[in-house]
Amino acid sequence: MTDARPGADGAAQTAAHPAIRFQNIGLVYGRGTANEVEALKDVSFDVRPQEFVSILGPSGCGKSTLLRLVAGFLNPTSGSVSVGGVDPENARTNGLLGVVFQSPVLLQWRNVIENVGFLLELQGVPRRKRQETARHYIDLVGLGGFERHMPHQLSGGMQQRVSIARALAFGPSVLLMDEPFGALDALTRDRMAFDLLDIWKRDKKTVLFVTHSVQEAVFLSDVVIVMTARPGKVGLIRPIDLGRPRTKDHRLQMEFVEHCRVLLDELEADVGYH
Ligand SMILES: Nc1ncnc2c1ncn2[C@@H]1O[C@H](COP(=O)(O)OP(=O)(O)O)[C@@H](O)[C@H]1O
Ligand SMILES: [Mg+2]
């Protein structure tokens, strides 16, 4: 098993720095070309260590772009992003970041256990240790018994759970998740939400989570951020002061429903449903 105790996973957990800091971020795709798109404008917010923060916003408002900036796959046109006080590329190469994309990106010619252990292999972790860690996370996402299956033998939801296990397996302190449950059926999605909260709490991770579901965002998060339509800006930052651990009963509470209503109003106001 990977060592994911608090303090075992590096700079992103130090109290002196926010886990993620966006400072006046602007992002323009194709600058100076006919296809120029201003995706983000003046985005500033912090995610604190071990906080669970969700982002809601209309399609095309720059949610995936924000995650790509944190992952160091993209550089901002203006402003700066830091992860635990260091630049994103540095954080990624030091293994502080785990990324789960909207659709699973698996190596088709490798079985489940080899896919889950892949990032550990890149880090030079010996085979036995790799397999042991991979097995632990395969069990955790409910895929025990499927270690030797190939990706094409799994449903879309199972493939997505493989990519979640892979992201968790090398013990990143910051987890970036881009609509990770979008392809799952409602029951599996619900179960994965509980599993994710267990993992988050136990391994003391910071999570930045993109979703289209207002209820999912409220259920999971400490803070929900609503972004406005393109160019994406921060429309609302709403702390979710429901107790933890979250249970099914939380969804029936007045406070839960009220959080959902406020967030939905903000979303709808922006796309002009009123
Ligand atoms: N690689 C790219 N090149 C040009 N435009 C892009 C690229 N990626 C995204 N965009 C544009 O930037 C905007 C924000 O995209 P994205 O971050 O994917 O939004 P979201 O994830 O919120 O749906 C959209 O208008 C999209 O068309
Ligand atoms: Mg997206």
Residue ranges covered by each domain of the chain = 11-86+104-271
Task: Give the pLDDT of residue 203.
Answer: 85
Q: Which two tokens stand for residue 228?
A: 């406005």
Task: Give the pLDDT of residue 10.
Answer: 47
Ligand 1 lined by 65 (C-beta under 6 Å)? yes
DSSP assignment, residue 75?
A: -
Residue given tokens 């709403």 in the structure block? 238
Ligand 1 lined by 61 (C-beta under 6 Å)? yes
Residue nearest (by alpha carbon) to ligand 1 atom 17: 62
Query: What's this model's pTM, rounded to 2 decimal places?
Result: 0.91
Give the integer Cα–Cα distance in Å for 274 and 59: 18
Give the integer Cα–Cα distance in Å for 239 and 53: 9
Ligand 1 lined by 41 (C-beta under 6 Å)? no
Task: Give the pLDDT of residue 273.
Answer: 52
Q: Which of 136, 19, 158 is nearest to 84 (CA)?
A: 19
C-alpha of residue 179 to centroid of ligand 2, in Å: 7
Q: Work out the angle at residue 269's Cα, subtended by the Cα atoms of residues 268 and 272, and round it to the nearest 5 degrees.
A: 80
Domain 11-86+104-271 classified CATH 3.20.20.70? no
C-alpha of residue 60 to centroid of ligand 1, in Å: 6
Give the integer Cα–Cα distance in Å for 15 and 206: 13
Ligand 1 atom with minimal separation from the 57 CA: 22
Q: Which helix (H) or strand (E) holds 88?
A: helix 88-93
Give rounded-to-5 percent helix, strand, coil for the chain: 40, 20, 40
74-103 burial, b for 16+ CB within 10 Å, e for fewer? bebeebebbbbebebeebbebbbbbbbbbe
Give the integer Cα–Cα distance in Å for 139 and 130: 14
Give the integer Cα–Cα distance in Å for 52 and 197: 9
Ligand 1 lined by 28 (C-beta under 6 Å)? no
Of 25, 27, 29, 63, the residue with max ligand 1 atoms within 8 A of its CB, to mutate for a pocket test, comes to 29
Residue nearest (by alpha carbon) to ligand 1 atom 18: 64
Ligand 1 lined by 39 (C-beta under 6 Å)? yes
Low pLDDT (below 70) residues in the chain? 1-15, 271-274
Ligand 1 lined by 269 (C-beta under 6 Å)? no
Q: Are β-strands 78-83 and 97-100 bridged in parallel, bridged antiparallel, or unpaired?
A: unpaired
